Amino acid sequence: MLTIGELYTFDILGLTQDGCGIGMVGDSKIFIDGVLLGEKVAGIITKIEPGYAAARLFEIIESKGDRIPPLCRYFNRCGGCSLQFIPYDQQLTVKRDIVKEAAVRIAGLDARLVKEAIGSEDILYYRNKAQYPAQHSEGKWKVGFYKSRSREVIDLDFCFLQHKLSNDVRKAVRIYLDELGQNEQFIERKAAIHHIVTRVSHSTCDVMVILVTALNELPYVERLIEKLTDKVPKLKSLYINHNEKGTSQVMGEKNTLIFGEEKIIDSIGSFNFVISPLSFFQVNPTQTRVLYDKVREFAGLVGREAVLDLYCGTGTISIYLSEAAGMVIGVEGVEEAVKDAEINARINRVKNVEFICGRVEHVVGKICDSVDVVIVDPPRKGCKKEVLDAMVRINPARIVYVSCNPSTMAADVKYLSQKGYGVSVIQPIDMFPHTAHVETVTLLRKV
């Protein structure tokens, strides 16, 4: 029986998807941050819940790797970079272990199918998108990130993962909020902005800012534009996104442009892509090229193939593969992203791609054309069963499964392997240095 405040010694037997260590004391499962697989540690119990407990690290008794001083002074408070305490090469080992664990435990695969993780060239300032929550409490604005496993906002000065321009945006909006905080009319509306979303093009340094609000319009908007353009001269677009506070999804569907142009442009390899507020775009643009090269390699294209790109976003993979394929059809559910995909095909002068707007689970069953390769890059929750069944019915020679969630990837791959597709290789790719997140590209072949 565990007691809160007591010290216990235990081995780290596994890691969660968030990089949190898992140990056992008797029959009790304990979660603990800041540890490595295989270590023996001492931890103080901080929470006991039905089925598990949480502990704070007290001492490493037997170490399995090096530790380095974290770069960021918010480490351990902010929920972002849980792996910042170890050198980058060790982070890659942890990520491969997370993927291996899911492949073996969930999909029943041989661990040797999981390759070494490919590291990112940029490991700082690599992100092109940030979503900063803003909270007004005890007379003060806090703008930053949520504390680990909580909805409390940590007020940040700087984030090393974000582009420097994104940090400048946060500071400028913060000044605006602080000034309005002095204004009596505005105090009533203290939840005016609940998220600041930034998107920065790494190739042009153009900046898009989206302020998510429950209000119909923001007060003193000219002052906001003045502050932003002063601190961020490359501001290209400023939007208000309307969303009632309290929903789990950060952005609502309605965007109103209040300054500048509708879209920004970034590039991957030799292709340019427009980005709109609601469109998905991979967050680490340098490493996206590595990811897409791996997709192209696994797709094994020789120039004639018909390719289906499911969950295609703004058509980035479709367009990237178009040079090597006969024809690519992309399917995507967000209308704005499909419009961007069509623009992207036009500006890159790509003629052999076509996009279908609709939910994959509704559309994929109606595809009757013969398809050689299916690329599938679903959201974190993975694919619905009807999507997996339709992929099997389409009968491609190869399926390339791209995923940012090793658990759902492993569950879907297991299902596909029971339906006649064998896993040839799982390649982890690090798109998210210092965090425990990891992307995978899995090649399945028709047996």
Ligand X SMILES: C[S@@+](CC[C@H](N)C(=O)[O-])C[C@H]1O[C@@H](n2cnc3c(N)ncnc32)[C@H](O)[C@@H]1O
User: Which C-beta is closer to ligand X: that of 155 or that of 354?
Assistant: 354
The closest of 434, 435, 378, 437 to 411, measured between CA atoms, is 378
Least distance from C-beta 326 to ligand X, angstroms? Answer: 20
Least distance from C-beta 361 to ligand X, angstroms? Answer: 6
> Alpha-carbon distance 205 to 423, whole Å?
40
Residues 6 or more apart in contact with residue 235 via CB below 8 angstroms: 169, 207, 209, 228, 229, 259, 260
- Which element (helix H / strand E) includes 7? strand 7-15
Which residues between 270 and 309 bind ligand X (CB under 6 A)?
Answer: 280-282
Q: Which stretch binds ligand X (CB under 6 A): 55-63, 136-144, 174-182, 356-364?
A: 356-364
Which residues between 219 and 278 bind ligand X (CB under 6 A)?
Answer: none
Q: Report helix, strand or coil for 362.
A: helix
User: Which C-beta is closer to ligand X: that of 10 or that of 280?
Assistant: 280
Least distance from C-beta 340 to ligand X, angstroms? Answer: 10
User: Which C-beta is closer to ligand X: that of 349 or that of 381?
Assistant: 381
**Could you say which of 34, 144, 277, 313 contacts ligand X (CB under 6 A)?**
313
User: Which C-beta is closer to ligand X: that of 266 or that of 372?
Assistant: 266
Instruction: State how far the alpha carbon of 243 is from the alpha carbons of 60, 222, 254, 273, 352, in Å.
Output: 45, 21, 8, 27, 38
Catalytic choice (78, 81, 383, 404):
404
Q: From start to end of 83-139, where are the E strands?
A: 129-137
Sign of the torsion formed by the C-alpha atoms of 167, 173, 176 and 178? negative
Q: Does 385 bind ligand X (CB under 6 A)?
A: no
Q: From start to end of 50-137, where are the E strands?
A: 52-62, 129-137
**Could you say which of 317, 325, 327, 391 contacts ligand X (CB under 6 A)?**
317
- Which element (helix H / strand E) includes 143? strand 140-146
**Could you say which of 37, 114, 301, 337 contacts ligand X (CB under 6 A)?**
337
Q: Which stretch binds ligand X (CB under 6 A): 76-84, 222-230, 248-256, 326-334?
A: 326-334
**Could you say which of 334, 347, 356, 392 contacts ligand X (CB under 6 A)?**
334
Strand pairing report for 373-376 and 398-403 = parallel
Least distance from C-beta 94 to ligand X, angstroms? Answer: 22
- Tell me the number of residues near ligand X by CB under 6 A: 17
Which residues between 400 and 419 bind ligand X (CB under 6 A)?
Answer: none
Q: In what order do the strands lie in the sheet with 254-260?
A: 153-155, 140-146, 129-137, 193-200, 207-213, 235-242, 254-260
Q: Does 312 bind ligand X (CB under 6 A)?
A: yes
The closest of 169, 207, 215 to 191, measured between CA atoms, is 215
**Could you say which of 359, 385, 393, 446 contacts ligand X (CB under 6 A)?**
359
**Could you say which of 379, 393, 418, 420 contacts ligand X (CB under 6 A)?**
379
Which residues between 20 and 79 bind ligand X (CB under 6 A)?
Answer: none
Residue 312 catalytic? no
Q: For residue 144, how many other CB atoms are within 10 A of its CB? A: 23
* Residue written as token pair 């399917």: 331
- Site residues (CB under 6 A) for ligand X? 280-282, 311-313, 316-317, 332-334, 337, 359-361, 377, 379
Q: So which residues are the catalytic ones?
A: 404
